[in-house]
Amino acid sequence: MTMQYTSAQFRHSPIAVTDSGVGGFSVLRELQQLMPHEDFVYLADQWHVPYGPRTMQQIQYFEDGITRFFLNGCEQLPPAKLIVIACNTASAAALHHVRATFPQIKFVGTEPAIKPAAERTRSNHIGVIATAATFQGELYASLIDRFAQGLHVHKRACPEFVTLVERGGPYDEADQQQVTEILAPLKAAGIDELVLGCTHFPFLMPLIQTAMGAGVEIIDPSPAIAKQTARVLKEAEADTDRNMPGQTLYLTSGDEVHFRNQLEALLGLKNPDVRVVKWTENDESLAMT
């Protein structure tokens, strides 16, 4: 299926947003605020969460299946006009791959906000927290090479934070203690900028800020991702021309009840439109149930 982005017929198609779990909610809420008239479909691939420990080949395979699902659409879901990979790990492992494999649709990826951190630091010490897979990707290495030359970059893999967000709040003193202990080496290093290199992490912002103290600025890349998405749509003449509020469909490949609870806890939604999608036995394709 080939989409022509200069054609007005795709203006009313949804923007697809995907993540391994609910971390991409941090990007989705920025997208919804910036483009309130657009329709969205959000897919949490919770059958495979977390992506962090998986191989690059596995993640590419998952993103292939998710992209085909969004391209093909179904009776309940029109084909998407753009795909936002709201996951640092998936972007690091598969963004270049899916852009090459599916040139008929545009992708917006997620990357650690190294550039603003490098521009704002006063101590020349910045911190980055992400998953191990994000740190191992070429995208992260290129960002450091382009924007952080001459700076001390202190990185820390925090897979426990993904688990905390997927579990859901409310968070207690034990959770705060865990976050504080994990971030202690970065605090000891004297950083003054901390880059959230995983879209799950903004939901732990109060815990992270408490752990780091008031002297550390925490950078959430979600607003920048939303602005880039709006730019791509406008340049392609694919932004909607409707004035009515957009709708959002929420999909999970995991447990529907748990997903609904996460939507209420993280986004405050009471009765969202939620559907379940299932992977085939070989994880090759998705279908809505």
C-alpha 100: how far from chain center: 20
Q: Which of 16, 28, 87, 212 is catalytic?
A: 87
Our answer to whether residue 74 is catalytic in this structure is no
Q: Using an 8 Å Cβ cutoff, are 135 and 157 in contact?
A: yes
Our answer to whether residue 198 is catalytic in this structure is yes
Nearest to 126 by CA among 96, 104, 150, 151: 151
Q: CA-based Rg of the chain, rounded to a whole angstrom?
A: 19
Q: Is the peptide bond prior to 206 cis by the omega test (within 30 degrees of 0)?
A: no
Angle between helices 256-267 and 25-34 (to 10 degrees): 60
Give the strand pairing for 273-279 and 286-288: antiparallel
Q: Which of 16, 85, 113, 198 is catalytic?
A: 198
Catalytic annotation, residues? 87, 198
